[in-house]
Structure 1
């Protein structure tokens, strides 16, 4: 049961284009009592842009433990507080998790607002499957940790999303090419919603070579999206036997469809196998 305290509003802010802020976010910032902010200067600029004047409590990675008590104290006194990050949706690779957890513990109501998020914005335009994905934050800056992290994700079947900096992007692309192979698809989205927004999508080898030749500019904030590992299920002798039997009575497409349902394997891979085998058998007869 939620007790009669103040509410904590999670308010997304623009990731670049100021017009991306929602009406609801502006109205919420006007009505609350305090703002808990990751970046005081950026939040103040945002508030000034919409003629909003509110007290700002600092909440960043270096003072989160210390200032949570102050924020919780105000919430318990029935003050409404908005949590904002430097840009985008709060707590996504930003401070705020500890505050949210404490609010749940104290039975303080949390009201999340929908809004800008660079991860989802980049993913929507990536051309890479978005039905299943994992977000891994920033690629580690130290070489040993970076290689370890990339190796650990080599066989991850979901789409992988990283943040990266312009200073380290070359090193990361080089390691990704080495571990994931040249044909894995990758998208680089930089400076999203801003004037210099750029989205590049191709094989890792192509992107890396273009970057080395300065034909791809990687400045500002970068989101890296990598296609997942394509796990191909082998066609076992048992499956081949089923195909052989069904092929006597049905077309190749029907045979592939029925076998896929029996053995829980993708129909397309079975159909390709049948076509290849049929062509090979024809060639043998000609010889």
Structure 2
């Protein structure tokens, strides 16, 4: 593969099964001068598996701003480089966008080497509407901020896609039920492409019960997908309840409900006691 024109390659790596690293990705990783990696130890193990030996440059959330210009300087000097994350497609809830932005601003060619992405892989097997979806990545760790974010999404009509960790999966499912309604259809994809891969579907209430009943379903890495608000009326009610929750912090319940109903178009009676 020719690297006569310096290029920054954005290379997707496996999310579990190492066989998912494409031949083209392997060829690019062998051809570049160095590889920018989120965790050099993790990437070193991946490269070793494929017999690839290349210098590694640490590029993560804590140093990306400072490192971006150094990497761009190498690109401008004629070196082609690659950027990878620990798993999946870089920049998707992973570091890399500052480097890509800096490279593009400097006129450097940036080329994708596509491959695995947990969000897309999960959506492809979920059986939920996929013509429109909203990728939210990781929710806030603090419960109050997480609930506020979910309330803002309650009226979204596209399928919602989240990443979640093992130690917060149960709490997040409970908060989703509170924001979207326990009967909202959802799917949990866990440990995709790995030995203990599972894909569970049901209502948010049913999924929470299954996760709480089985310790194994609280281990690993999760993609949670929630069907969007079904119609205009449901979306209005979801928005009305979000507004009511905020207004009720400062106003009497009757006044809060009246204003929320006027602003959202939802029936006033639907905003009480939810």
What TM-score, normalized by structure 1, do the two folds share? 0.78
Return the alpha-carbon distance in structure 1 between the equivalents of residues 233 and 200 of structure 2: 31
Query: What is the match of residue 105 of structure 1?
Result: 105
Q: Deviations over 1:170-210 (max 9, x none)?
A: 11111111221122111111111000111101111111222
Q: Specify whether residues 215 and 206 from structure 1 end up closer, same or farther in structure 2 by C-alpha distance, changes over 3 A only.
A: farther
1:84, distance to aligned residue in structure 2 (A) = 0.5
Q: Specify whether residues 94 and 17 from structure 1 end up closer, same or farther in structure 2 by C-alpha distance, changes over 3 A only.
A: same
Query: What is the match of residue 228 of structure 1?
Result: 228
2:217 alignment partner, SS class: coil
Query: What is the match of residue 19 of structure 1?
Result: 19
Q: Specify whether residues 154 and 216 from structure 1 end up closer, same or farther in structure 2 by C-alpha distance, changes over 3 A only.
A: farther
Equivalent residue pairs, number: 231
What TM-score, normalized by structure 2, do the two folds share? 0.81
Query: What is the match of residue 272 of structure 1?
Result: none
Matches within 5 A, 1:137-216: 137-214=137-214
1:150 alignment partner, SS class: helix
1:16, distance to aligned residue in structure 2 (A) = 0.3
1:121, distance to aligned residue in structure 2 (A) = 0.3
Q: Specify whether residues 210 and 216 from structure 1 end up closer, same or farther in structure 2 by C-alpha distance, changes over 3 A only.
A: farther
1:214, distance to aligned residue in structure 2 (A) = 2.4
1:211, distance to aligned residue in structure 2 (A) = 2.2
1:116 alignment partner, SS class: coil
Return the alpha-carbon distance in structure 2 between the equivalents of residues 162 and 16 of structure 1: 18
1:88 alignment partner, SS class: coil
Return the alpha-carbon distance in structure 2 between the equivalents of residues 95 and 211 of structure 1: 30
The structure with the largest alpha-carbon Rg is: 1
Is 1:93 the counterpart of 2:116? The answer is no
The answer to whether the 8 A contact 1:210-1:216 is kept is: no
Q: Specify whether residues 151 and 233 from structure 1 end up closer, same or farther in structure 2 by C-alpha distance, changes over 3 A only.
A: closer
RMSD: 1.5
Query: What is the match of residue 73 of structure 2?
Result: 73
1:5, distance to aligned residue in structure 2 (A) = 5.4
Structure 1: gaps (5+ residues)? 235-287
1:217 alignment partner, SS class: helix
The answer to whether the 8 A contact 2:190-2:221 is kept is: yes
Is 1:31 the counterpart of 2:31? The answer is yes
Query: What is the match of residue 239 of structure 1?
Result: none
The answer to whether the 8 A contact 1:12-1:116 is kept is: yes
The answer to whether the 8 A contact 2:15-2:117 is kept is: yes
1:42, distance to aligned residue in structure 2 (A) = 1.0
1:151, distance to aligned residue in structure 2 (A) = 0.4
The answer to whether the 8 A contact 2:69-2:102 is kept is: no
The answer to whether the 8 A contact 1:5-1:77 is kept is: no
Q: Deviations over 1:215-248 (max 9, x none)?
A: 87121111000000011469xxxxxxxxxxxxxx
Return the alpha-carbon distance in structure 1 between the equivalents of residues 20 and 161 of structure 2: 22
Return the alpha-carbon distance in structure 2 between the equivalents of residues 41 and 214 of structure 1: 32
Q: Specify whether residues 215 and 128 from structure 1 end up closer, same or farther in structure 2 by C-alpha distance, changes over 3 A only.
A: farther
Is 1:46 the counterpart of 2:37? The answer is no
1:225 alignment partner, SS class: strand
1:201 alignment partner, SS class: strand
Return the alpha-carbon distance in structure 1 between the equivalents of residues 45 and 214 of structure 2: 34
